[in-house]
Structure 1
């Protein structure tokens, strides 16, 4: 098992988040992390501002994914929150100026250690590059099932 050193439980899985824009989706999921006491109030604004400058949309097979995250000073406890969106919303593609992707699922990261960002992004990308797993996450309506799928994938990351 690979220990990613973060808080993740079924309360950090949100299903059918209703949002009409990338900003609204990010704000709702970030607010959930704030309400759980895992991030500081500054996290919401910081993650939204960072997304404008460094977009995190990933055009993966089947469903678009976004991996919003921000600087460590806005985080109280390392965590990941996974949210499926009721309807896909457009996000700018990572590393692109104007390319967009319709995102169905967010893997929102709250990281306290700068060096853990790359490792965590690699773990998430490892999951979203498996179309069958991504399909299950995007279509499942039970938080426990999504939690179990993602937890299993994190525990079985190739080192």
Structure 2
């Protein structure tokens, strides 16, 4: 994982600011096109990506492959939770502490990436360790099994 795509203690007011923060990191490294951030924001407004995992709530904003140069993902560990709308109940909001911003170039690889993310989301100890990580390297070590 690219350490520049890991953001610790992100201070954000709303989903848009989180997506912009993480998307700007991807754009700076040329993983995504300049249309990517706006496309993610547009998609999130129509198809929200908040997931209630019980002990944790996460969001996995993303957009179509045409806005991506190279597949990758950014992770934001939020200083304070931000309200995202729920994927399963769009009128409901969830307090999100972790955001995985996805950029997938090959649609076929999206299934594998989502499968790996679900393994993370189902592992409460791993989620706690990510949430409480104090360095980017620590997050990278915890997620080193993810293939993009």
What range is the shorter-chain TM-score in?
A: over 0.9
Per the TM alignment, residue 63 of structure 1 is displaced from its structure 2 partner at its CA by 2.2
Per the TM alignment, residue 62 of structure 1 is displaced from its structure 2 partner at its CA by 2.3
After superposition, residues 59-98 of structure 1 pair within 5 angstroms as 59-98=52-91
Aligned to 1:109: 102
Per the TM alignment, residue 59 of structure 1 is displaced from its structure 2 partner at its CA by 0.8
Q: What value does the CA root-mean-square deviation take over the aligned residues?
A: 1.2
Residue 7 (structure 2) pairs with residue 28 (structure 1):
no
Q: Say whether the 8 Å CA contact 2:84–2:93 is kept in structure 1.
A: yes
Q: Say whether the 8 Å CA contact 1:61–1:129 is kept in structure 2.
A: no
Aligned to 1:10: 3
Aligned to 2:12: 19
Q: Partner of 2:107: helix, strand, or coil?
A: coil
Gaps (5+ residues) in structure 1?
A: 1-7
Per the TM alignment, residue 141 of structure 1 is displaced from its structure 2 partner at its CA by 1.2
Q: Partner of 1:87: helix, strand, or coil?
A: strand
In the aligned structure 2, how far is the partner of 1:105 from the partner of 1:35? 21
Q: Partner of 2:55: helix, strand, or coil?
A: coil
In the aligned structure 2, how far is the partner of 1:112 from the partner of 1:19? 27
TM-score norm. by structure 2 comes to: 0.94
Aligned to 1:5: none
- Between 10-19 and 40-49, report the one with greater CA deviation: 10-19
Aligned to 2:138: 145
Q: Partner of 1:109: helix, strand, or coil?
A: strand
Aligned to 1:55: 48
Query: Which digits, 9 at most, give the CA deviation of each residue in 1:18-72, with x for residues without a partner?
Result: 1010111111111111111110010000001111111111111322100111000
Aligned to 2:115: 122
Aligned to 1:3: none
TM-score norm. by structure 1 comes to: 0.88
Per the TM alignment, residue 98 of structure 1 is displaced from its structure 2 partner at its CA by 0.7
In the aligned structure 2, how far is the partner of 1:81 from the partner of 1:97? 23
